Structures are given as structure tokens and as C-alpha cells.
Structure 1
Amino acid sequence: MNFFEELTEMALNDEYLKSLIYKAETIYGQTIFNSDELNQIFNSKEYYDLLRFADILSRSKKPEARNTALKIISLLYELEGYKNDNDFKNFSESVLTKLGNFPSISIVGSNHEDNNDEEIEIDKILKSTMQQAPNSKYIFTDAQYDVFEKMKDSNHYSFSGSTSFGKSFIFEAFMNYIIDERNASDNIAILVPTRALINQVTIKLKSEIKNKKYKIVSHPKVPLLYKNEGNRFIFVFTPERLISYFSDSNNPSINYLFVDEAHKLLSDKDQRTPLLYHSLMQAKRKSVKLYFASPNIPNTEVFLRLFGNSIEESTSITESPVAQNRFFIDCIDKKAVMFSDFGKDIPLNGLKYTKNEVENLIEVVNKLGADKQNIIYCNTIEYTVKHAREFSSHLQNNSSKRIEELIALIKESVHDQYFLIECLKKGVAFHFGKIPQRIREGIESLFRSGEIRFLFCTSTLLEGVNLPAKNIFILSTKIGMNYMDEVNFWNLAGRAGRLAKDLSGNIFCARIIDQEGYWKKTKEIEKVKNKKITEIESPLMKKNDKNLYKNISNSLSGQPFTNKNLSANEKKYINMYGNILVYHDIVKSDSILRNRFFEKNKDARITLEKVTSTIKVPDYIIAQSANIRIDIQNKIFSTESTDQLPEGTDYKSCLQMLNILYDDYEWQKEESIGLNPLVKNREHLNYYAVLINSWVNSKPLKIIISNTIKYFDEHDKDLNIRANQYETFNKENATHINILINNLISDIENAIRFKIKSYVNNYILLLVERGVEVKSNWSDFLEYGTIDRFIIEIQNIGFPRHLATFLKENYPHCFQFVEGEITEFDTHKLKNEINTEKYKNEFNELSKLLEWT
């Protein structure tokens, strides 16, 4: 142990240092709570001792010491009278330089006139040169650089870090390194958890990847326009799109695959987990190099072990580039504390509590979040909208030109009674998956710019949406109706504090609602206080697998599950792993799933042989349809008189298509149970027929909404208010209008473009394999929301549906469209001809996508 490490050990165990940090935390907490018990500030000795401690700790290699150094600097920066002090600036610059935290140096501000410290300047020069990210103006922090260097020497890698660690930045830098190092010879893919993230990631990559030989592609079909130019590709795919891409042997090979939010592989309830595992096993079979990033997972080697890779190429980063302060506010019991790692809980007063939920919400969020960027987490859409409306109703108008433009866009493209409008006028917004993507992206942009200061949201922030803030208020310990695990909680809480904008962030856990799941239990509070994340294992590898493999066997054998109380989602989860297991057995894949199934079940071989001996469906179809029971696929494939899908796309044809799927795939049994079933009964198909008829015939969202409102009104339809709770729709009820819009967006994205499309795709594959000519590609119709081949091809080259329709209707002459494919696209002509006043929103969106600005 060298001299500085010895000093570090002494400092970390020094009670005097702990008392100084504890005092700093106390002053900070009392300051932001506007407490009437404000402590005295530090005397001169205490102040300089703190700075010297920070300097010593920053020289260590221990994450605990480095985090403590940052904690000291961040607390002093927030306290009155220190941030402008020259000595503070000098010490802070030195500490941040030693931490390699260059993005934060601009926050404290350099003091070059009074700072003649050669050590700092040498450190800066060395690190800014050595740790420069490839093709970027940004410099890695020390921890980021360590991960980057290890990835360069590995054919696979897994790492985890805090939410603010910059995992995506490391991936982007590594892509640039691969491109430069290997002379742009490889194709690369990024796996994102949801379709909603594709556009965000695509736009970011276009600005970060400098080599123009690379095209960003987000659909499984590579456009002819890009093939003709001899390009290489970066694919941005969801798991289902990656599976579809691999199904076409003519597609270019993928060499590197990056998996962000990899912890989703470890869920034992999420239906998307088996599909994610299946997609990555497909990649593994094709010898794709896999790289994983996850938030806060201590045993990051778990992902490598899951796919049979050596586990040495992994690291868990506990050093954070942003410090965090943790608070618990109990409006029911009228008390608040700041949690400290350096002493007992710090009681704080200054808030005025009442018995009114809304008044407490306003007091907590408005007082503690004044003049800052604030995220307020709610566990359901209902609470998110409710709290956002109640909170904003007590604020003065605080609009801007850009906010007014977004409001106009909502009125023009969604509905003039959409509740988001009234919130936006006050500088408040809500954010969840059922908001139209175009509007959601507008909200995100306004929040990043600071024009929206209060953002109420659901767990969409856990899906990889990059929206950090100074403060995060967590009103519930649940996601929906299920409790958050440690990883998801700290992934959410980690949004507090923005690298390059904040030295620290504040986590406010607020008990405003007096119910279970809203900070009522002591164990929920302990999660925040202790900040401990235990090792987590994949359900496929757990010693205690909760009868997973037994239930997979029962699923394949048609036997009852061991637990009669399994939810519909849990049954689908097991069935999907059963389908994937059968596929692995057919193609003789050496997978953890298959190997463990044999280990866990003495009759495994007999069970699988019974199933596989009866299967007539080709393996390439099974590979694309892991979410559909194989016995049903087999039955359809073996039936001689299978119905042909209709050629037309009018309402009657849409209903005919749906009835075929309902009968042949046994939807009454397979898709009508659980909290959010695809269909309640056959009558439900009429609604989907209305929706699909508008969707596939290129109708804009506002018309689709209008048609659906008319259908619900004229037929006195029941509206799904919340899980399995219905009310008769009333078009005069603004709440009903908003719920209908939210449900409709979800049904387009999840029911039509995912579930129904997967059934249609399977049906078409089965028909084609039997030699039946399929005249209408309903799978494409549902995915792209149009029957127009031109609009489909415009989407394939990277434009969302509304822009593709706009371009086809107004500027088709900017494209060469030959035999159903785009062969040329004149972006310069489009830029010169587009009416920027008439089509301002469209021009702004095109400018981002085509990098005009």
C-alpha cells in the first residue's frame, strides 16, 4: 500500500472527517428545506480541513474514497458562500481532475489566475490526451476510461455502473473505435428494450458516429438505397426486430451487438425477457460479439455466463460521477429526514404539512424543487396524470414559444381536450408510454432545455429514456401494482443529478398517499437508507428456480402448472421459454436453457422427443414465433383447408382477418385472461377492426382518434378505465376522451404492431411454407400502418410514419421509386423546396433526422 492509500484508509476511518461531512449534510438539508434551525457555517479550520481531505481522497484508487471526495466538493458547492471562493475553485478543480471528472470542472469554474499548481495542469494535459473519447470532444472519466480500455481487449464484455455513469457514451465511443480500428469493415447492432427508444437512439447515433459509410437502420429490412451505396450498418433493433432480421439469410452479417439495460434479462415476470434471451441466443449462434451494460448490478458476469462466455471480461463500477443526497418526507406522520452515511438520520423541518394530499404534493415538490429540474415518479398512469393536473392547477402560467408550439401540435395531431395541454401552460408535463411518440419526444426536448421544470412520469424512465434531473421525487415503491426491486429502484433514483450540469442530485422519497406501496412500510424506507444492491441471478440459472423447469416440462406435456395461482403473464412467460427450449432442441443449440432442462428433469429427453416428433412446422418459423404455442402452429400448418387472409383492408376485411386469428389461434383461451387481455371476447374484435381499418389505410393519428371516439359513442361501448374496470363511454367527459386516447396509443403499439402482427406474421409464414400464395402482406400493413408500398419504403430509410406519409403526399419527386423500392433520395432538393413556414414542425423533425442543423 503506497503513502496516499495509507492516508486514504486513515481518512475514511477518521471520526473528525465524518463529523465534518455530517455537518455539511446537515447545513445543506436545512438550507433546501428552509429550516428555522439552520446551523452555523464552517469555521476557517473546518473549511480548509474538508478541502484537504477531499484532495487526499481524490488521489486514491478506491471508489469509496473517490466518491467521498466528490461528496465533499458537491456539498460545499451547494452551500452559501463557498462556490465563488478562489480556494474552493482551486481545490475543486484539482479534485475533479484527479477523478477524471472533466465534465464537472466547468460547473465549479476554473481559476487560472490564482492557480499555479503544476500538478493540476500536468494531470489535465495527460488525462485530456490519454482519455479523449474517439472522434469526440469529450474526455472519459477515469472509471469510464478503465472500462473502455478493457473492452478494447475483449471479444465480449459486461459492465455495470450508476445511472449517471454514461454507459451509452462508452458504447458510442467503442463503436467509433471499432469503426476506425477495423477500417469500417463491421456491421454493428444496438438492442433497445422498446420500440419507443429507437428514434432517440437513432438520432443520437447520427450525431456521434462520424464515419459517413455507416447508415443507421431500424427495420429488419436493409433498404436497397443503402445497399446500392456499399455502406456498412448500425442497426437499432428491439428483440423482435433482431429475430426477424436474423430470419433472412440474405441480410448482412452482424459482427458486434450492444445490449443496454441488460438487467431486463434477469426478470422472472416480464414477458419480454424470454424474447430478449431468445434474440441474444440467435446472435450467439451466429458468432456475434456480445457486450452488455446494466445499472448497478454487482455481479455483471451473470450475463456472460447466461450465454456461455468466459466471465473474466466483466466489471462493476461503484464510482459515480455525480453525488446524491437521500431524503425521506412523511406527510402523513409530519416529519422529514436526510439519510447520511456519516452519522445518524438528520431531522429536517421547514415544510408545512396538512391532511390534504394535493396540498402536501404542492408543498413538497414546489418548495424543494424551486428553480430546478424535477422528475416526479408515480407508479400508474392514472396517478401520473392526476398529480400533474392537480399540481399544475395551483401554478401561474409559465409558457414559452416552444411550449406553445408543442401545444399547437397536440391540438393539431391529437385532440384539443388532451390534458397535457393544460399542464404545459404551467411548465408542467407528464410522460408515459401511452403518449404519442411525437409528443413524447417534444416533452423530452423541452425538459432537457429547462422550459418544462416539473415532469410527472411512470416507469418509462426505466426503459432507457435519458432524462436526468437535479431532483427526483419518488411517490411510490411500486411499478404498476408490483413492488420495485433494488435494481429498478436505484436505476430510477439514479436519475437525480445530471453529469456536466450538477455535482449532485437529490432523491426525495415522499409519503403523500396513505396506502400500501407508497412508503408506508419500514422495509421500503430501509431500501433507500441502506443503498444496498444484492447479487441477482437469471431465473434460468437460479438454484431455487421456483419450479420453472418443472413448469416448462408441464407446459410442453399439457400438464397443469405446479402453482394453480400463476397469473396469465407468468403462464405466458413459462410457455415462451418452453417454445424456445423446443427450438433449441431441434437445432441442437448448446444453451443454458436446454442444458439446465436436462439437469432438472429426469424425463427431459422423453418429454422433448414426444413434442419434437409431432412438429411439422419448420424451425425457421418456430424461431420467429416464440410467443405462440407450438401445438397451435402445428395444428394450423397441418390443416389443409386454411382460410386465406382477405385482400382488401376495409372494415369488413379487417374484421374477417381478426376472426381467422381469433379462431385458429384460440384467442378465447389464449388471449382473454389476465389484467390486460388482448381481447375480452369476440365482440372486442369490432373495436380492433375499426382501429386497424384507419391504421393500415394511412389515416393520421387525429383521424384515428376521431373515428374511435365516434365508434365508442355510437355503440355505447364500455371504456377500460383501469385494469378490468369499465365505464360506458361518454364523449362529453374529458377524462373519458383522455383515457380512450391513451388506450388507443397502447393498442396500436402493443396490440396491433406487436401481438396481432406476430400472429399474422406466423400465419403468413405457415401459408407460404405450404405453397399458398399470400396476396396481401398484412404483417407489413400492421407494422408500418399503411398499405402504400412507397410509404413503407420511406419508413424503412428511417422516417416515422407521419413523416413518411407527409413526404409521399408533398414531396414524392425527391425520391426515385422503382419496382417497389427507393433507389434514390435527393435530400438537398427536399431541403430547398420544403415550405418551412407552412410545415415548421415537419421541417424541424426532418432537420434532426437528416442532420440539416
Structure 2
Amino acid sequence: MNRDTEALPLEASKDEGFVETYDNLLKNLFLSKQAGETDGIFIPHQKLQHATWLASIISLSKSETLKNLANSFGALLHLYAPNNPAYQKACYIIQSRSGNLLSSKHIPNIFENGKYLNSFGALLDLELGTTRGRLTHRLEGAGEFVFTDYQAKLWAAIRSGANVAISAPTSAGKSFIIRRYIVEKLRASPETAIFVVPTKALINQVSMDFKSDLKDRAHVYTTYRPQDDGDEKSTVYVLTPERCNKLLQDKTIRPPRVIFIDEIHNLEAEGRGMVFENCLYGLVARFPQSQFIFAGPFIEDIVTPLKELSGLELIDETTVATPVFQVKAAITFLSRSYSAEYRIFSQTGNVIFGETILNKRLFSKAKSKKGQAIAAFLGNLKQDESCIVFAPGKATAEKWALELPRPTNSSQEHEDAIEELIDFLADEIHPDYSLIRTLRNGVAFHHAGLPDIARIEIEELYSKEAIRSLVCTSTLLQGVNLPADKLIVISPKNDSTPLTPFEFKNLIGRAGRISTNLYGEVYCLEVKDEEWGEEKLTNHDKTKIKTNTTAILQTHTDSVIRFATATRNEIFENQDNGKLYTTICYLRHLFVSDKNHFDRLLGTSQIRSDQREELEEKLSQVKDQLSIPMELLRQNPYVDPLLQNQLYLEIKEDPFSWIPTNHPNTRRLPPAPDDISFKNQNFYQQFDDIARRLDRIFHIEKEVNSKFTNPGEYVSIGTLVYDAYQWMSGKSHRFFIDKFLNKLSQNPDDFSREEDTESESKKRPVDKAARHVTKNISSNITFKLVKYFSLWSDITKACTSEADHEEYAYALSLPSMIELGSYDPRVLELMSLGINRSIALKLRKDLPKAVDNVEVWLQNFNTTKLSPLLRRYLERSGLTKKHDE
């Protein structure tokens, strides 16, 4: 299309008649979603006909923004009169021309069983048939799929073998394309793939999808485990950036065919940004011949920062195209009024104003009792679709879920599955856990504090619409696949921090799921004179990736230089600079062990040459103090090299005084006398002794409690050791919750301060206990404690012989035992396959002590021995076969 013809669609999009008709169609759809009787908007046929003709012109534009406009007009036209055959055909033609046949499956009477039901006319039949043929792809092992234009373009790019950087909205379908590409490669020949996700919560979701797609054609591992020589199966590792570190240390791994890193904007995250950065750089340096694919939403110029960091040549696959459109509205509650003002933000650029009648006055509730305001507002909307409510924190999510009304059309089909989840929660968590109460009401909450299997089951029940209303926290911002027909936001914060424009845009991108609907709805609830919705909904800024390390170097250059050689205590004594400690440690590590990466990083930070010289001079002083081998230092890039060196020197002096010599399940003895030797202590005492020596060097207790709010939640090093030991012994969450509840009942004043004014946690102590326990396990035990015991294991191995490694292999695997929550090798083997800990512990009694191949054993295991919930989980994973009762 030449310049003049490209100007025609733009002119058509600004036509007064088209804009008026589009906005009236949008307002009509908004009004149709109100629960009460509302008068629809009558639009003369001539105006619809004129606007449809213009929309067909707009759909031929090269601009994805204009294509989105045309596509949404087609959907609005169909939704205005869904039984009108002419509008059905017009919608299909416009969506075909705008490259969005994916959504055409929602238009009836058009295409069925591989053929068109009616003719559009000879020329249109040829055009539409050609487009459908171009966008239809047969995927290995999955049948035929109709792609969008963007998906087809992305498919071609990644199948070329090139490195690709993707910036696309949540609903663009990029994850589906990438997963199917990896499946195709792994099914074709024995290959290895690495799929990096930002959180442990996503590991479960992604690994289950791969297991379902690949079945027995590939191993799907969620922790690193070595590949067997001669294994003819493919392998896909689904890992967090932290778990990639162990993989990078294995010199024998088969080079991956493809490496995918999702949610790449996490490079900017405070704290974890350097973990993403180090993972990315390490994978590129280690596997330069692999194909790399990066993805994230709404990123401006995604290629430049990734190229600077990795040195890779990348194809830019940025898009704003989306198969679903959104009805975005701000609802403003008025003081002492049963009315609310609404503003609908149209893709034409206009704002549509009006008023709607409420069942209750909601101004005061929206200010002080937000959960009740949301519940009441839902009564003003039709309840025939899925709804997600965004909550700023865990306690708030739980309280709001308790206040939401039961969906009027809740399904009875999955009632048994909900009861089975309730039984599991009562056993694993506590009978008084509020999630049990909400589930009985057809509602659930979803946050990072849920046990894995509960979170997985809620996601499954929600996807099947057994649960219609879900209250979620910032897990929605971390890539968890939970799209909704409706999304409600009343407090646009993550805890007490306002969401950035990027975070908010990422959040509302969850509204609209192409599997069920042509559109999604976003409602921002606010009060008069405290409006925020318009600012958030009309902000179309994209984020620019800047690694967290680069950002800190640029903004705190002088402080970083000043503290480059300082001890941990010296840095933390200056309160403003305590947050710089992790960055300073990382820069020390890079300068000493990976100068190429250090030089690349400082090159992107653009600090002055004299500042760079001063920083390097100080870091050279750090390097001169180190005795620890560089290869060993590289294995733990996030721990201060000076402290690693201190530990190395202490272990080197007598490594065997650092290695447990007894088995964990030996009887726990009373506290050991001060004069008893290390080797004569039992396992618990040796574990405690090592942890305390590590704490003396690394201040683990201070790190664990850096953000605690109440005295009763303080975790001493002794408590941490005790909890970690009980976690390894297979104790359930219920054990720790009961322990915390007992402590709470004895010292109620220590828990008086609340993290959320709406939480009312005094009335729900079980919920408070569950949140504390899951945080303690997921953050303190399986992350922070694991970090230092991994370092202990690496250094101890470096200070002993290969023969010693074999003799003490079990003891030196303590980091895996702590992280996975078991010291039973059989349970660890099951969990390395991606099986949830709760299920692995139940399978332990049936798994023989000596079994050659656990995966083969699982395929033959009779799952009817398990509860229906656990059986469904295993069968969905593809690790077991279905068995009749």
C-alpha cells in the first residue's frame, strides 16, 4: 500500500459518522452489561452501513492500532445485533482483513467443519478463503490452528531459527506460539530446551502444559537434574533464574536447541533484576549457538537493551495487535447518591460520559470498606461471566473474597472437585482457613501465599468456570495465565506502592479471554474528587528496559564507588545505602570473576571515565583480598565475595568439621553440651551448628527479618533451623500453622499491628498464620537459607576430594533437601519431575526403595489409591495413565 492509500484508512478512522457510530456501539455494549433494565441505543441502519464500509477500509491499514480499531468495530457490530446474518458476515470480513480470524470462532453461521456455510460472493469467497488458508497451520501432535496475522509472523520468525525479542500484549497469543514451537522441536528429534519463568508459581503452570503436549516424548524437569547418557528422549527444563545457576555449572549438559526467557522486563526489578541479568548473560555465554527468544509486554525498543546486555543479533517482533478488545470504564461514586458517573474510554480517542443507577450508595464504602463496595457494585452487573478483582495484598484479597456474593449462575458440574479441594485444604492448611469458606460460596482468592497444589487447583477450576469470581494480588503481574471477562480495580497498588503505568497496563491486559469472548471489561472504581481511573486508563506509555544494576549505577554512582570496598556492616550502618549492598556485591563478583560482563555492564551505564577508573581501582583492592578460587566464586554470584572468601578460609582449614555425619531421621537429642565434638552430634545438632556458623558470617537472621512487622513474626536463626528441619522431615503446612497459632494465642500483643487496615486478621488468625507460614517457607527456608547452604555445599566440595564427594554425597545435597522439603531421596526424585511435594510425600510409601526408572514406575502406578484431587493432578501432568475405579 503506497503512502496515499495508507492515508485513506487513517482518514476513514477520523470520519465523524464512523466515530459517532463506533462510540454509540461501545456505549450500547456497556449499558447491556448493567444488571438493571436499561434502554439500548438505537443506531439507524444507514449509519451502521456507512460505518461498516469505513471499517472495512480501516482494516486494510498497515497500522496495528487502526487494525485493532477495525477489529473491535466488527465485534461491536455483531454484538449489537448478534442474530443478524448481515452483521455476522460483516464482522467476519472485517476481522479477516484485520488479520484476526482467531476471534471469528465466536461468530455463528460462518465457518464449520472445515468449510464456509454460506457464500459471500465469488470475489469475497476467494479473498476470505485465501486469508483463512494462509493463517491456518497444522501443528505437530495438536491438529489445525487458525493464527492471527501477528502469530503467523511470529511463527515464521522463530521457525527461521533466528534470535527473537517479543513485545506484545498479554492477549496476543505469544506464549502459545512459543510453547508450540518448542514442542515441535522436541518431538522432531531428541533436543534440549530451557524455559525460564519469573516465579515458582509459573513453573507448575508451564511444566503441566509441556507434560500435556509432550507426554512420554520428553522429560519435563522443574529443578536441574543431569541428563542420562544415551537417553533418546528430549528434555525441557522449566526453571526460575535462580534454578538456572545449577544448570550452568554442568559441563556435560546437551546444548539447548532453544532458550526462552519470559517476562524479560523483570531485568528492571529491584533485587531480582540482577538474578535475571546474570541468568541471561550466563546462558548466552555458555550456549552461544542456541536460539534465544525473549518476551515481555509493552516494552519500547526491546531489542537495544537486550543486544547491549547479551551481544546477540535479534529480530524485533513488537506488536500492539490483540484479538480481543476491551471496554474500559471509570466508575465514580458520588457522595450520598444512588447514582455513579461513568466514563468509557473509546479507541476513537473520545470519552463517553453518563450516569448509572446503583442498588446501594457506595461512596463511603469505596473509601473505607472497599471489599463491600466491590461486592455491592457487582450486584449492578450481569453475573454470567468470569470476574477477577485485583487486590493490593494477600490479607486484603482474603477479606474481599469473603465479602463477594455467590455468582448467580454458578455451575454445579464441578461441585465434587470443589469439595475435594476443600477436604485437601482442611487437612493441609486448617479447617478454619477462609479459602474453604469462599469456595463454598463459589469464590476464591489467588496469591503467592497459597500452597502450590491449592493454587494449581484453583487455576484449573477457574479455567473450567467452576469458580467465576477470583480475587488476585500481583500474581497477575507476574505472568500467571488467568484471563477474565471482567476485571475490577478499586485500589491500584501493590501493597502500599502505587502501580506504575506499565504495571497497570500489564494488569488490565488480563481482561478479555479469546477462548470465551470477543472482548473484556475493565472497571476502575473511584470516588468523586479522588479520581484516578482516567489517568491510568489513558496512559499508553511503554516501558524501556534498563537493568536494575545499570539503573543503580547511574543514579547512585558516587555511593557505589564510596562503598565499593566497605564491609556489610559499614554499608548497612548508612541506612540510605543498605539497599545498595546487593548491587555492590554483584559488581564485586563480576569484576573479579567475569570481567567481560562487568565491562559490558559499565558500558551500558555510561558513567564518566574518571568514575569508572575510581570504581575499578577500589574493586581491584577487593580482588587482592580474595583467596577463593574464581571458578568457585562464579557458582554463587549473589553473595558478597568478601564473605564467601571468609567462609572458604574457615572450611578449608577443616572441611570435615562442616559435613554432617549422621542421617536426618536419627532421634533428635536434647541440646548438646558445649564441649561435645561436631562429629558426635546428631544430624539436627550438626545442621543447627552449621547454620549458626553461616549466620555469624552472612547475618542470615538479619536478612530474614529485614521487613518483619510484628515481634511475634520475628524468626530467629534457631527457629529457622527448627522449621527447616521439620520441612525436610515432610511436615505439612498444617504443622507449622498449628505451631504459629499456639504462639499467637500465648502472645496476642505481639501480633497486634496489622499490615492492612481492612484485613481484620484478629478475627481470622488462621489466615494470618497461613500467610506467615507460606512466606516463611517460600522466602526464608526455600530461598534464603538454601542460598547459603548451596554456597556451603559448593565450598565444601571444593575443599575435599572426589572420593569424599561420593562418601558424603547425601549430606552435601542438603540444599536440595531444604528447597524441596524432604530428606527422602525417593521424594526428591519425584519432585524433580515436577510433582508437587504433597503428592510426592503420599507416593513415597508406594515407591519401591530401589527402582530403575521413576518415570516408568509412575506410568504403571495405580492412581485409584489416591484421592480424586491428587489423581487428577497426576493424570493432568501426563506422568501417570488414567485408571478406572
TM-score of the aligned structures, taking structure 1 as reference length: 0.88
263, 266, 270: which one pairs with 1:264? 266
Aligned residue in 1 for 2:43: 42
> Structure 1 296/240 Cα, relative in aligned 2: closer, same or farther at 3 Å?
same
Find the aligned partners of 2:749 and 2:627 in 1 and give their Cα distance: 42
2:621 corresponds to which residue? 610
CA gap of 1:710–1:579, structure 2 versus 1, over 3 A, is farther
Distance 1:540 1:658, change over 3 A: closer
Q: Give the whole-Å Cα distance in 2 for the aligned partners of 1:308 and 1:797.
A: 30
Q: Which residue of 1 aligns with 2:872?
A: 844
Question: 1:614 deviation in Å?
Answer: 1.6
Map Cα deviations across residues 354-400 of structure 1 (whole Å, 9 max, x no partner): 33335432222232252110000011112111111122489899762
Amino acid at match of 2:170: T
Contact 1:34 1:350 in 2 (8 A): no
* Deviation of the 1:318 alpha carbon: 1.1
Q: 2:837 is matched with which residue? A: 801
User: Which residue is 2:100 aligned to?
Assistant: 101
Contact 2:23–2:352 (Cα < 8 Å) also in 1: no
Query: Quick check: 1:672–1:678 contact (8 Å CA) kept in 2?
Result: no
Q: Distance in 2 between matches of 1:462 and 1:670?
A: 26
Report the residue type matching 2:63 in the other structure: K
Match of 1:331 in 2: 333
- What residue is the counterpart of 1:203 in the other structure? 208
Q: Secondary structure at the match of 2:379?
A: helix
Distance 1:88 1:762, change over 3 A: same
Equivalent of 1:147, from 154, 157, 175? Answer: 154
Shift of 1:220: 1.1
Q: What SS does structure 2 have at the residue aligned with 1:491?
A: helix
The answer to whether the 8 Å contact 1:385/1:430 transfers is: yes
Q: Tell me if the contact between 1:201 and 1:236 (Cα under 8 Å) persists in the aligned partners.
A: yes
Query: Could you tell me which of 817, 828, 834 is aligned with 2:851?
Result: 817
CA offsets 1:550-587 (integer angstroms, 9 cap, x no match): 4443343218779955375x334423532442355457
Alignment match of 2:640 (pick from 609, 625, 629)? 629
1:89 aligned partner: 88
Residue 691 of structure 2 aligns with an amino acid whose one-letter code is L
Residue 379 of structure 2 is aligned to residue 370 of structure 1:
no
The equivalences for 1:301-700 within 5 A come to: 301-309=303-311, 313-331=315-333, 334-342=340-348, 343-351=350-358, 352-354=360-362, 355-356=364-365, 357=369, 358-368=371-381, 370-392=383-405, 400-511=415-526, 520=530, 522=532, 525-540=534-549, 546-558=554-566, 566=576, 570-585=579-594, 591-593=600-602, 596=605, 599=609, 600-639=611-650, 640=653, 644-646=658-660, 647=662, 649=664, 650=668, 652-667=685-700, 670-674=703-707, 684-700=716-732
3-state DSSP of counterpart to 1:505: strand
CA distances 1:593-651 after superposition (whole Å, capped 9, x unpaired) = 47747845232331222111222222333233222211111111122367525445446
Equivalent in the alignment of 1:70? 71
Which residue of the partner structure matches residue 751 of structure 1? 780
Cα deviation 1:35-88 (Å, max 9, x = unaligned)? 887453111111222322232222222212211111212223333xx1110001
CA contact (8 A) 2:586 2:640 kept: no
Residue 257 of structure 1: how far off its partner (Å): 1.1
For 1:717 and 1:655, the matched residues in 2 are separated by 29
Whole-angstrom distance in 1 between the partners of 2:20 and 2:730: 66
Give, as a single letter, the amino acid of the residue that structure 1 aligns with 2:266: K
Listed as ranges, the matches of 1:674-823 within 5 Å are 674=707, 684-710=716-742, 718-719=750-751, 722=754, 735-771=764-800, 776=811, 777-810=813-846, 812-813=847-848, 816-817=850-851, 822=853
**Cα 1:778–1:108 shift into 2, 3 Å:** same
Contact kept? 1:189, 1:258, Cα under 8 Å = yes
Which amino acid is 1:697 matched to?
A: S
CA distance, structure 1, for counterparts of residue 409 and residue 163 of structure 2: 53
Does the C-alpha gap of structure 1 residues 57 and 824 become closer, same or farther in structure 2, counting only changes over 3 Å? closer
- 1:153: Cα distance to partner? 3.4
Change (3 A) 1:127 1:279: same
CA distance in 2, matches of 1:562, 1:124: 66
Q: How does 1:273-288 map to 2 (within 5 A)?
A: 273-286=273-286, 287=288, 288=290
Asked if structure 2 preserves the Cα contact closer than 8 Å seen for 1:676 and 1:724, the reply is: no
Cα distance change on mapping 1:583 and 1:485 into 2, 3 Å: farther
Deviates further, 13-22 or 595-604: 595-604
Q: Deviation at 1:143?
A: 1.1
Distance 2:407 2:505 in 1: 31
Distance in 2 separating the partners of 1:100 and 1:113: 21
Identical columns (%): 20
Is 2:194–2:238's contact at 8 Å kept on the other side of the alignment? yes
Compute the RMSD of aligned alpha carbons: 3.4
Query: 2:675: which partner in 1?
Result: none
User: Would you say the 8 A contact 1:242–1:279 is kept in 2?
Assistant: yes
AA matched with 1:15: E
Gaps of 5+ in 2: 111-115, 669-683
- Structure 1 residue matching 2:351: 3-state secondary structure: coil
Is the 1:541–1:592 Cα contact (8 Å) retained in structure 2? yes
CA contact (8 A) 2:420 2:868 kept: no
Shift, 1:794, TM fit: 1.9
Amino acid at match of 1:752: I
Q: Tell me how far apart the structure 1 counterparts of residues 514 and 223 of structure 2 sit (CA, whole Å).
A: 32
CA 1:347/1:124 → structure 2, altered by over 3 Å: closer, same or farther? Answer: same
Q: Judging changes above 3 Å, is the alpha-carbon distance between structure 1 residues 213 and 424 closer, same or farther for their aligned structure 2 residues?
A: closer
Give the SS at the match of 1:386.
Answer: helix
Residue by residue over 1:695-741, the C-alpha shift from the partner in whole angstroms, topping out at 9 and shown as x without a partner, is: 1112233334334544655687945965599x9x99xx661221111
Code of the residue aligned with 2:331 in structure 1: it is I
SS of the residue corresponding to residue 11 of structure 1 reads helix
Partner amino acid for 1:790?
Answer: R
Matched position secondary structure for 1:506 = strand
Q: Secondary structure at the match of 2:172?
A: coil
Q: Read off the aligned partner of 1:376 and give its amino acid letter.
A: V
* 1:185 Cα deviation from its structure 2 partner: 5.2
Q: State the distance in 2 between where 1:493 and 1:273 align.
A: 23
Going from structure 1 to structure 2, the CA distance change for 1:716 and 1:482 (only over 3 Å counts) comes to: closer
AA partner of residue 64 (structure 1)? T
- 1:379-433 per-residue CA deviation (whole Å, 9 max, x = no partner) reads 1112111111122489899762322222122112221000011111111111100
Alignment of 1:188-199 (within 5 A): 188-199=193-204
Q: 1:693, CA displacement in angstroms? A: 2.4
Q: Distance in 1 between matches of 2:699 and 2:41?
A: 72
Please, what TM-score do these two structures have when normalized by structure 2?
0.85
| Deviation sequence 1:671-698 (CA, Å, 0-9, x none) | 54345799987x6234323322221112
Seen in structure 2, the aligned counterparts of structure 1 residues 39 and 99 have a Cα distance that, compared at 3 Å, is same
> Displacement, 1:494?
0.5
Aligned residue pairs: how many? Answer: 823
